[in-house]
């Protein structure tokens, strides 16, 4: 696996966005959540109304690639979380049961160095839904504290979904197309 496609938002240090005079954004919330659960990357996909779910943010190119796999393959923890409305905690993608559950996604993620994916549905009433995902290089469950933090992030991220976050770094339309999802494509909430 090449270093450029490996997910990795890395550890963020320094003051909070508001302490630096920057309004908090979806980007800040996703990266903070990844840090809180010791993940190397985070992604967010949202659907508006009955529209398809589309990528909104990925912390880095490797994470964007994994997010795109969900769209191309139509399977994976994020797809399951979105369609069921329940959290999906895939603690070991290299286990025997993961490739049976996600025959395309699990081996592709493992090939890219990812061993665990945690997918949290996000809901904003009947108008918006989506999924927040975190990717880790090591197998294993989240601690109780990490799970609580991730659930809180999934609740907070929609409150930050407004036009102001665009300047903070969502995926450009060309990246959606590279991920195989383009506008109007993607999976629909179940």
* Lowest mean pLDDT segment, chosen from 4-13, 157-166, 174-183: 174-183
Q: What is the count of structural domains for the chain?
A: 1
**73 lies in some domain:** yes
* Lowest mean pLDDT segment, chosen from 15-29, 56-70, 123-137, 172-186: 172-186
**172 lies in some domain:** no
Most confident of 7-16, 115-124, 134-143: 134-143
pLDDT band of residue 40 (cuts 50, 70, 90) is: very high
Count Cβ atoms within 10 A of the Cβ of residue 3 and give its class: 0-12 exposed, 13-18 middle, 19 or more buried. exposed
The residue with greater pLDDT, 60 or 189, is: 60
Average pLDDT of the residues of the chain:
76
**143 lies in some domain:** yes
**184 lies in some domain:** no
**1 lies in some domain:** no
**16 lies in some domain:** no
**153 lies in some domain:** yes
The pLDDT value given to residue 120: 93
The pLDDT value given to residue 50: 74
Domain that holds residue 69: 23-162
Chain segment 66-123, per-residue pLDDT in tens: 999 988 999 999 999 988 989 999 999 999 999 999 999 999 999 999 999 999 998 8
CATH number at residue 44: 3.30.450.40
Count Cβ atoms within 10 A of the Cβ of residue 119 and give its class: 0-12 exposed, 13-18 middle, 19 or more buried. buried
């Amino acid at each position: 696996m090449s270093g450029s496609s490996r997910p990795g938002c890395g550890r963020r240090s320094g003051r909070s966005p508001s302490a630096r005079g920057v309004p908090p954004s979806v980007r800040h919330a996703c990266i903070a959540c990844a840090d809180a659960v010791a993940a190397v990357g985070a992604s967010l996909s949202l659907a508006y109304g009955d529209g398809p779910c589309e990528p909104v943010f990925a912390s880095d190119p490797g994470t964007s690639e994994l997010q795109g796999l969900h769209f191309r393959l139509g399977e994976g923890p994020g797809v399951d979380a979105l369609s069921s409305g329940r959290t999906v905690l895939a603690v070991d993608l290299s286990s025997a049961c993961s490739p049976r559950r996600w025959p395309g996604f699990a081996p592709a993620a493992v090939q890219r160095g990812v061993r665990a994916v945690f997918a949290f549905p996000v809901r904003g009433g009947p108008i918006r839904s989506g999924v927040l995902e975190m990717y880790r290089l090591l197998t294993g469950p989240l601690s109780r504290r990490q799970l609580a933090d991730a659930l809180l992030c999934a609740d907070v991220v929609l409150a930050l979904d407004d036009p102001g976050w665009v300047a903070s770094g969502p995926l450009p339309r060309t990246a959606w197309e590279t991920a195989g999802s383009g506008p109007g494509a993607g999976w629909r909430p179940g």
